[in-house]
Amino acid sequence: MKKTVLYDDGNIQWVVFGRDSSKPDSIIDTNEYLVQCQDETILIDPGGVEIFPNVLTAVSEHVELNTIKAFLCSHQDPDIMSSLPLWMALTPDAKIYLSWLWEGFVSHFGNEFSSNFVQIPDEGLQLTLGQSSFQLVPAHHLHSAGNFHLFDPCSGILFTGDVGAALLPVDHGMFVEDFEAHTQFMEKFHLRWMPSNSAKDIWLNRVRKLGVKMICPQHGAIFKGENVEKFFDWFDDLELGKLKRAS
């Protein structure tokens, strides 16, 4: 599993773990993000149970596990956080931020840690880590009915869950280098998993005002520089909710 430091100003550090060449081919590739502020850490979409040993090794080589104060589960899919019971056995006091919609469902992974849930209201909220504040940005129906992204106003990084996701070869680089060539890896995924043009428009109107400098999806490569606006424009033009029948 590769580790890439995305941002570090001495106060806030963003790290991504991904491109796990040892994972089984039957498991979709995912990116796990760690944000550290002073001596507190949040792990974003900590991953599925099948990759837990690899993620745990990578994370524990970078930070002490007792610094993990919170997890963000952007939505309810198993690749997002079916590993939660294993993480909570190691970090029993950590908070778990998730949409109020999924509390009763996620409890099926382990009801013993349901008291750690922090239910996010539909309009989102501010999340504090160390001395820094982050925005939990609504992204409902992209693709989940209860879905949240995380924006760091200091670094300009926006974690976008499945928005911007791409299905890439495991040896692909961590960043998008050629946007036009990259769209071939994104289009079918977005047309299948993103059902609502109105939800897309609401999201774009919201995030384009934030001053995003880097888009970090849960699958695929990261957008930075001019590719941020290129993605917004591409997504804006994409007609969602029109699944083509197989010929």
Percentage of the residues of the chain whose pLDDT score is greater than 90: 79
- Is 168 strand, coil or helix? coil
125: helix, coil or strand?
strand
Out of 159-163, 164-168, 169-173, 242-246, give the one with best mean pLDDT.
159-163
% the chain with pLDDT above 70: 98
Does the residue 191 lie in any domain? yes
Is residue 175 a part of any domain in this protein?
yes
Predicted local distance difference test score (pLDDT) of residue 244: 60
Residue 194 inside a domain? The answer is yes
Give the pLDDT score at 21. 75
The answer to whether the CB of 205 falls within 8 A of the CB of 142 is no
CA distance 150 to 62: 21
- pTM assigned to the model: 0.94
Look at residue 170 and tell me if it is in a domain. yes
Instruction: Compute the mean pLDDT over every residue in the chain, rounded to the nearest whole number.
Output: 93
Backbone phi, psi, residue 169, to 5°: -60, 145
Residue 172 lies in a domain: yes
Query: Containing domain of residue 27, as a range?
Result: 2-237
> Does residue 127 fall inside a structural domain?
yes
Number of domains in the chain: 1
d(CA 220, CA 217): 7
Q: What confidence score (pLDDT) does residue 48 get?
A: 93
Give the separation between CA 117 and CA 70, rounded to whole angstroms: 10
168-171 contacts: CB < 8 A, separation 24 or more?
168/29, 168/219, 168/220, 168/221, 170/19, 170/20, 170/21, 170/23, 170/29, 171/19, 171/21
Tokens of 176: 């998008």
pLDDT surpassing 50 at residue 247 = no
What are the φ and ψ backbone dihedral angles of 40, each rounded to 5 degrees? -120, 145
pLDDT digits (tens, 9 = 90+) for 119-141: 999 999 999 999 999 999 999 99
Q: What is the mean pLDDT of residues 63-89?
A: 94
Whole-number pLDDT of residue 104: 86
Query: Which residue in this structure is represented by tokens 């977005």?
Result: 190
* CATH at residue 197: 3.60.15.10
- Residue-wise pLDDT for 36-59, tens only, equals 998 999 999 999 999 999 999 999
Find which of 26-30, 79-83, 223-227 is predicted with most confidence, using mean pLDDT.
Answer: 223-227
Query: pLDDT tens digits, residue range 176-220?
Result: 999 999 999 999 999 999 999 999 999 999 999 999 999 999 999
Residue 247 forms part of a structural domain: no
Q: In this structure, is residue 242 part of a structural domain? A: no
